Amino acid sequence: MTVKIQQIDDCRWRIPREGDMRTEGLVFADKRMIAALQQEQALEQVRNVATLPGIVGPSMAMPDIHWGYGFPIGGVAAFDAEEGVVSPGGVGYDINCGVRLLRSALSAADIRPVLARLADTLFRNVPAGVGSQRRDLKISVSEERKVLEQGAAWAVSRGFGNAEDLDHIEARGTLPGADPELVSDRALERGRAQLGTLGSGNHFLEVQEVEHIFDPAVADVLGLFAGQVTVSIHTGSRGLGYQVCDDYLKLMLQASRKYGIALPDRQLCCAPLTSPEGRQYLAAMAGAANFAFANRQIITSWVRESFEQILALSPAELRLSVIYDVCHNIAKMETHEFEGKKRRLCIHRKGATRAFAPGHPETPELYRTVGQPVLIPGDMGRYSYVLVGTQGAMEETFGSTCHGAGRMLSRHAAKKVARGHNIEAELAARGILIRAAGRATVAEEISEAYKDVANVVEVVQRAGIGKIVARLRPLAVIKG
């Protein structure tokens, strides 16, 4: 299907309402991005989301948009709490895949002499890859259920980090309403051995250097300075979240038929938010999201241990503290102003980041004057960005913005491009060390597989739905 698209300005494009659409589509992109998108199905997915019952405002896509399951990755959609629906395709398989950023008191010069040893230690201490697990962390089924209820707070209560960490996590690291009883035994089984692991694919742990500060005043509030060592952790709910999604897709297909919801694509299967099926999915999804928060919290603790071990510095000397931790794949109940009225909405963010403005009560008090930190990873060979949320995002995107660079090549196509390249050597020549469980993952994650994240965040800033603060350069990358 050819999707009609109309340019609004240099970074906004409208998909006009027609046919069975209940609203229009809104895509944030530049001309080059739109030209590429017209060769694939992601724009059709934006259009399809606009047909779902109870949608409020446009069906949106961020500049890192690419094809996904049901919803496009980079998709944002709001649904009325009483009349709308919830769709697992609007969250994704990796529930609460997200990013956490740590700052330190170190400069890049401090770690360069021991960078290889540090990379080796991180690779040893933080399990990565398909089926990875750390054998000294074993939990019972009853403890796992507590993880699903308590999230990052469970990890802190077991000695992984401290209470101050929780102040700098979206939702303080615990989504309310989680019900472990609604998570299948198979999902629990898959997750139990994977707590505290990175997984594979685009997940990573990255030691970085603050390469450039764009906004010194905001960077100072976030505790960032030029040349500083930071650490990014990108992972989610692992096999547990995947299984929750898989389980509930079957239930949602039945629910769509039960409630007479016409679907342009069966991958958009959904249920009314007020229905038993809708409530069950949200409760199971919250449990998987809390597992992901705990996962990143445990990994944070092992990162701190690794730095202490190699640099022989105390926690007080390292000051490896959490700047922020954000969800990328989530459906959350939030209150937003729309057309002059406050509305209770379920915001689906699939490959999208919450970007609340200065003054918002859910932004940590430390950052309330500048806005919620927004963490945008790029690719392992270039750079990542730190932004903050804006009032523009609150007014136009329900406080949402992009989540990363966005893939341009499938994993199969990336492997083809990588043939004949010694990627590890090429990265090392640029001062980037990589440790990975296998060459296949490295090949799939080459820079050429992704859009240039600098272009993505430039569109975000021009559109006013995010403000660029700093650019981070990779020094050492740990992948599955």
How far is CA 431 from its chain centroid?
Answer: 26
Q: Which residues contact 312 (CB under 8 A, 6 or more apart)?
A: none
* Element containing residue 352 per DSSP (H, E): none
Q: CB under 8 Å, gap of 24 or more: what pairs does 15-23 form? A: 15/43, 15/46, 15/47, 15/50, 15/59, 17/50, 20/51, 20/262, 20/264, 21/47, 21/50, 21/51, 22/50, 22/51, 22/52, 22/53, 22/55, 23/50, 23/55, 23/57, 23/58, 23/59
CA distance linking residue 393 with residue 466, whole number of Å: 7
Decide if 448 contacts 410 (C-beta within 8 A). no
Task: Outline where 126-172 has alpha helix (H).
Answer: 141-150, 152-157, 163-166
For residue 131, which phi and psi values (nearest 5 degrees)?
75, 10
For residue 71, which phi and psi values (nearest 5 degrees)?
-80, 150
Catalytic-role residue among 328, 336, 403, 421 = 403
Q: What angle do CA 197, 198, 199 make, to 5 degrees?
A: 100
Tokens standing for residue 120: 């080796």
Number of other residues whose CB lies within 10 A of the CB of residue 51: 19
- End-to-end, the C-alpha distance of the chain in Å comes to 37
The verdict on whether 203 is a catalytic residue reads: no
Partnered with residue 324 across adjacent β-strands are 101
Task: Report strand pairing: 228-235 vs 98-107.
Answer: antiparallel
Q: Which is nearest to 293 in space by CA: 479, 61, 100? A: 100
Largest CA distance in the chain: 65
The packing angle between helices 238-258 and 185-192, to 10°, is 160
Decide if 51 contacts 22 (C-beta within 8 A). yes
The residues annotated with a catalytic role in the active site are 403
